[in-house]
């Protein structure tokens, strides 16, 4: 057991639980406070919280491993998709969704399309995709704890899971927001500190890069993968911020539409600094000092041990935990809200009081967390690819009806329903049964969903004029 690292991680976990207990007092049985933090979050706080929700264990451990294995161009094309996707969300969906004063993505479908099949289908897709994402994040926490704290993998994921299930369940969105600020600042500072130390050691940005390419020529080249793989990786993340619930829910928490739109962009500026400088320094240095690394996902951790003093290394362990937990808590809340708000409150008990709904939300979060934990005992191998595939599912099924529903007046219920079905089925079929390269199925499923949406909408009855009038107001507010 490494005492310094363990103590700092323990302090960090206790702080998270403390925030959860504080947030629980603030929530007081109000669904507004539990699911969307009372819609009171300003630009600074929301920017950090959004960045933390986006930057998962994959953005700290996985991104370095991905760059080390597949080269910087491929990695940047995937992460630039996310970075460009946030401004896209600021332009296409943020104002309208925030002005609608809703809790979940499914609420938008309920308002726009008024169809029970869609209202049941969307939360199911969300729970499946978010659940998959949570399992990948738990693996990242486990890998970190095993490597740097020296505790067994099952113990590591159980401790981490218990902590975030606890603070998310009792503190809801307030706990997620407050912990995300600490977690965001912690992970950005640790990645940048390591990057600066490495730049200093290897003579700067271009020097470390050219040394790395001299050792591994493919590191800076576009060699190993087809252009479609690059495009697929980009598109999956490009459309994600418009429809991925754990990111969209942060739009609902903003105090107004202006704050929501500004925070989406500031979040990405912070994220860009962490990813670009982190990858250039850490993945490059990895090729120089560890040219034959067997498990690329451990690169960040190995360099921490080699280049940072133990106390700072302890904070770095906490930073990786923070990266994992800041995304997982948001995912858990999104999945929990899909069950409690979209399924229980709408289908099972429509007359439930706010207090009951908060209680059901709490139980849903615990159940989803425990189920994900059970799956995480036998985790997937490719961390970033695994959860990116889950995000691709959401993009294929939900992006088109959300964006078209906001902007196209002729978008109809049948158009939305069929685009969700075709988008989901084609994505899953191509992912499991075709020989298409990883992450490329979205290049077929997304245009297919778009085409089906347009054709079905043109062939069917338009939605009520009141809905279009309300949409017009949302665009104007």
Partner 1 sequence: MADNRQFFKMQSGDKYTLIIIILYTIITFLFVSSSATFFKMAIFGWLMGLFMFIAPIVSLIFMKFEYNQLDTQKKQSTNI
Residues found near partner 1 in the complex (CB under 8 A): 71-73, 76-77, 79-80, 83-84, 86-88, 90-92, 206, 209-210, 213-214, 220-222, 227, 230-231, 234, 238, 258, 261-262, 265-266, 268-269, 271-272, 275-276, 280, 406-410, 471-472, 475
SS3 41: strand
Tokens coding 385: 């690819």
The C-alpha torsion from 332 through 333 and 338 to 343, rounded to 10°, is 100
CB of 72 to partner 1, least distance (A): 5
Nearest to 271, CA basis, from 19, 76, 68, 15:
76
Which residue number, 263 or 327, has a Cβ lying nearer to partner 1? 263
CB of 288 to partner 1, least distance (A): 13
CB of 232 to partner 1, least distance (A): 12
Which residue number, 90 or 182, has a Cβ lying nearer to partner 1? 90
Which residue number, 280 or 303, has a Cβ lying nearer to partner 1? 280
SS3 8: helix
CA distance 82 to 64: 16
Which residue number, 231 or 444, has a Cβ lying nearer to partner 1? 231
Residue 439 DSSP class: T
The C-alpha torsion from 381 through 385 and 389 to 394, rounded to 10°, is 120
CB of 420 to partner 1, least distance (A): 21
CB of 258 to partner 1, least distance (A): 6
Which residue number, 7 or 207, has a Cβ lying nearer to partner 1? 207
CB of 251 to partner 1, least distance (A): 14
C-beta of residue 79 within 8 angstroms of C-beta of residue 63: yes
Which residue number, 262 or 387, has a Cβ lying nearer to partner 1? 262
CB neighbour class for 292 (10 Å; exposed up to 12, middle 13-18, buried from 19): exposed
Residue 441 DSSP class: T
C-beta of residue 427 within 8 angstroms of C-beta of residue 442: yes
Which residue number, 109 or 219, has a Cβ lying nearer to partner 1? 219
Handedness of CA 405, 408, 414, 418 (dihedral sign): negative
Which residue number, 36 or 209, has a Cβ lying nearer to partner 1? 209
CB of 47 to partner 1, least distance (A): 10
CB of 207 to partner 1, least distance (A): 9
Tokens coding 42: 């300003």
Q: What is the DSSP string of 199-248?
A: HHHHTSHHHHHHHHHHH-GGGGSS-SS-HHHHHHHHHHHHTHHHH-HHHH
C-beta of residue 15 within 8 angstroms of C-beta of residue 182: yes
């Amino acid at each position: 057991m490494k005492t310094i690292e363990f103590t700092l991680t323990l302090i960090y976990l206790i702080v998270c639980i403390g925030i959860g207990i504080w947030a629980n007092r603030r929530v007081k049985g109000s669904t507004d406070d539990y699911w969307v933090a009372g819609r009171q979050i300003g630009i600074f706080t929301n920017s950090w919280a959004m960045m933390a929700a986006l930057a998962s264990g994959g953005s700290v451990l996985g991104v370095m491993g991905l760059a080390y294995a597949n080269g910087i161009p491929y990695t940047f094309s995937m992460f630039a998709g996310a970075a460009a996707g946030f401004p896209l969300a600021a332009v296409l969906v943020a104002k309208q969704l925030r002005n609608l004063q809703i809790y979940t993505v499914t609420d938008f479908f309920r308002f726009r399309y008024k169809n029970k099949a869609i209202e049941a289908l969307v939360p199911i897709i969300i729970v499946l995709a978010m659940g998959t994402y949570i399992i990948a994040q738990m693996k990242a926490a486990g890998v970190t704890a095993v490597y740097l704290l020296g505790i067994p993998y099952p113990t590591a994921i159980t401790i981490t899971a218990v902590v975030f299930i606890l603070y998310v369940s009792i503190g809801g969105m307030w706990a997620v927001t407050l912990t995300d600020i600490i977690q965001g600042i912690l992970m950005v500072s640790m990645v940048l500190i390591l990057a600066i130390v490495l730049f200093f050691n290897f003579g700067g940005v271009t020097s470390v890069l050219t040394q790395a390419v001299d050792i591994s020529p493919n590191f800076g080249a576009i060699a190993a993968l087809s252009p479609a793989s690059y495009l697929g990786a980009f598109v999956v993340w490009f459309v994600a911020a418009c429809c991925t619930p754990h990111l969209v829910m942060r739009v609902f928490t903003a105090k107004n539409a202006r704050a929501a739109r500004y925070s989406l962009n500031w979040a990405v500026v912070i994220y860009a600094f962490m990813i670009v400088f982190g990858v250039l320094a850490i993945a490059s240095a990895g090729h120089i000092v560890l040219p034959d690394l067997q498990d690329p996902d451990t690169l960040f951790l190995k360099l921490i041990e080699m280049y940072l003093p133990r106390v700072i290394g302890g904070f770095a362990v906490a930073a990786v935990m923070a990266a994992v937990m800041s995304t997982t808590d948001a995912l858990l809340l999104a999945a929990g809200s899909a069950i409690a708000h979209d399924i229980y409150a709408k289908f099972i008990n429509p007359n439930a009081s706010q207090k009951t709904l908060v209680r059901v939300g709490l139980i849903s979060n615990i159940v989803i967390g425990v189920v994900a934990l059970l799956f995480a005992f036998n985790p997937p191998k490719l961390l970033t690819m695994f959860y990116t595939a889950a995000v691709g599912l959401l993009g294929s099924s939900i992006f088109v009806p959300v964006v078209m529903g906001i902007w196209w007046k002729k978008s109809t219920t049948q158009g939305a329903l069929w685009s969700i079905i075709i988008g989901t089925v084609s994505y899953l079929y191509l992912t499991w049964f075709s020989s298409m390269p990883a992450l490329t199925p979205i290049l077929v499923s997304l245009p297919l969903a778009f085409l089906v949406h347009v054709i079905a909408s043109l062939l069917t009855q338009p939605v009520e004029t009141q809905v279009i009038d309300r949409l017009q107001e949302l665009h104007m507010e």
